[in-house]
Amino acid sequence: MSTGRKLVISTVIVGLIVGHAIPLVRGREHWPFSNYPMFSSISGPEFSELRLVGVVDEDGEEIELPAGTYLTPFDAPGFRASLPGALARHGDDPEAQEELLGDLLELYDLRSAGHGGPRLRGLRVYRYAWALDPRGEVQARPSAREFILDYDREGRVSR
Amino acid sequence: MRTCVRAWNTQWFGPASPWDLGVCRILFYGMLLALYSPVRFGAWAEIPGGFWEPVSVVRVVFPGQPSAAALSWIGNGWLVALLLSCLGLATRPSTAAAFVLGALAVGIRQCFGKVYHADGIVVLTLGILALSRCGDALSVDSWIARRRGRPPAGPSGEYRWPIRAVWLVMALIFFNAGMSKLVHGGIGWVTTENLAIKLAGCTIVGRNNNSPWMAGLVAQYPMLCRVSAASAVLVELSMILTPFIRWARRVVVPTMFAMQIGMAFLMVGTGFLPFFVVYVFWVPWESLFARSRPDSSAPPELLAGRTGPSGSSFGSG
């Protein structure tokens, strides 16, 4: 190997080290480099997350909408992480929120041939909460559910 | 100073046969091809624009959300480049294309509010291989070269540094993960019920692709959870030793692999799949092959290159 080539490769190797050090020091991700913060915070027994549900009929019957089934290419972890940020960005703008949820309903419709779900009248966003008990059972139901947003097919958003 | 340079050269540029790197090339690109072939890259264009939050690598090329046609071209182009790289046909341009297109194809799914932590290593490994001479053995290119009367590639530092650079990337990733736990969680990450509660969180139906009962079962044993948490941090931090110390490679890497399998079952489902592809760089393929063929009926390229310790062996210095 020539010395020049070794220098180039050595620079790349040092770049890889520095590239990984920066996110660790700054506490921020610079993809494809990261400080890999997943699971790094201490979890308390209270846990909550936003969930999107579909409104099926006039009585308000709802179905869960697992993203990996109904909103592909989102998968469940991706959608779970993305939804709060997307809603927060449009927090003070009802029109933007209406557009966001309208687009999600459109995505649901676009995937309907694949998932075979019912035609929805609208979408709702809830905050689900769980009281986690490590020595408890598998948790099928949340301990609390807080209504956040409602969107109907006519484009009305209510809180 | 001279000692440092010598140690650096030995670590990264000591002679190694091209065979291990060739096997890693075939497996890495081949497995990526299998993993990403079913993906419809154009579908990301259908995600509502309100979710668009591009990472800088993608934003350079696409300031706005790209069209389905553009994403399909990138994705399909990437798959073709992966196939050519796997075969070792026009290896230098195809691995370069696999890196550039891969950074975009893999990068696009980081642009909707979530970074997938198993994807970064794929792009960095693509970059390392794009700079390497991974097509010098076990490739269509090397077969054509031999037909033209060129001698097979002999041992060189060119075949050692790429494998070790991938080791380094993996080591840094896990070291960062371990450090993040200490920085954000502190010692409480290990000593409290933290991991048990995290596992209990995995028992929430619909949150993960795995079986929630398994996480629930482990969560019921607090001491087991504390020991697991301590082991996780220790093993992650110890990974930083693996590119440089032989025993660390022999002990820590298999332990880390087993730990990731466990985490896949308990917590993250299939999320680690791209990560597992990169483990092929830790396997001493040449030694394994030589051990399984004591009659020396190994392929000519292997025999041509077998003159010293290989770059990817757990046992090499």
Of A76, A77, A136, the CB nearest to B200: A136
Q: What is the DSSP letter of A125?
A: E
What is the longest distance spanned by two Cα atoms in chain B?
Answer: 66
Q: How big is chain A by its Cα radius of gyration, in Å?
A: 22
Q: Helix B222-238 crosses helix B246-263 at what angle (to 10 degrees)?
A: 140
Average pLDDT by consecutive 10-residue portion of chain A (159 residues)?
95 97 93 93 88 87 88 90 89 82 93 89 93 76 89 78
Contact residues on chain B for A151, CB-CB shorter than 8 A = none
A76 to chain B nearest CA, in Å? 7
Of B184, B201, B205, the CB nearest to A132: B201
**The predicted structure's pLDDT at residue B207:** 62
At B102 the three-state DSSP class reads helix
Supply A112's token pair: 């309907």
Contact residues on chain B for A27, CB-CB shorter than 8 A = 183
Contact B200 A29 (CB under 8 A): no
Supply B271's token pair: 């999320």
Contact B197 A104 (CB under 8 A): no
**The predicted structure's pLDDT at residue B303:** 47
**The predicted structure's pLDDT at residue A113:** 87
**The predicted structure's pLDDT at residue B309:** 46
Per-residue pLDDT tens over the stretch B209-255: 556 678 888 888 989 999 999 999 999 999 999 999 999 999 999 99
What is the C-alpha to C-alpha distance for residues A144 and A68, in angstroms, rounded to an integer?
A: 24
A35 to chain B nearest CA, in Å? 5
- Tell me whether A68 touches chain B (CB under 8 Å): yes
Supply B210's token pair: 């795995």
Per-residue pLDDT tens over the stretch B168-197: 999 999 999 999 999 999 999 999 989 999
**The predicted structure's pLDDT at residue A143:** 87
Contact residues on chain A for B168, CB-CB shorter than 8 A = 13, 16-17
Of B161, B204, B205, the CB nearest to A9: B161
Q: ipTM of the assembly?
A: 0.90
- Tell me whether A140 touches chain B (CB under 8 Å): yes
Of A31, A41, A140, the CB nearest to B107: A31
Ranges of residues in chain B with a pLDDT under 70 are 205-212, 294-317
This prediction has a pTM of 0.91
Contact residues on chain A for B207, CB-CB shorter than 8 A = 49, 76, 80
**The predicted structure's pLDDT at residue B162:** 98
**The predicted structure's pLDDT at residue B244:** 95
> Long-range CB contacts (< 8 A, 24+ apart) of B222-230?
B222/A134, B222/B193, B222/B196, B225/A134, B225/B193, B225/B195, B225/B196, B225/B199, B226/B190, B226/B191, B226/B195, B228/B195, B229/B189, B229/B190, B229/B194, B229/B195, B230/B190
Q: How far apart are the first and last CA of chain B?
A: 21
What is the C-alpha to C-alpha distance for residues A55 and A121, in angstroms, rounded to an integer?
A: 5
Q: Which residue has the tokens 């993203």?
A: A67
Q: In what order do the strands lie in the sheet with A62-64?
A: A62-64, A46-55, A122-131, A144-152, A157-158
Q: Helix B222-238 crosses helix B194-201 at what angle (to 10 degrees)?
A: 100
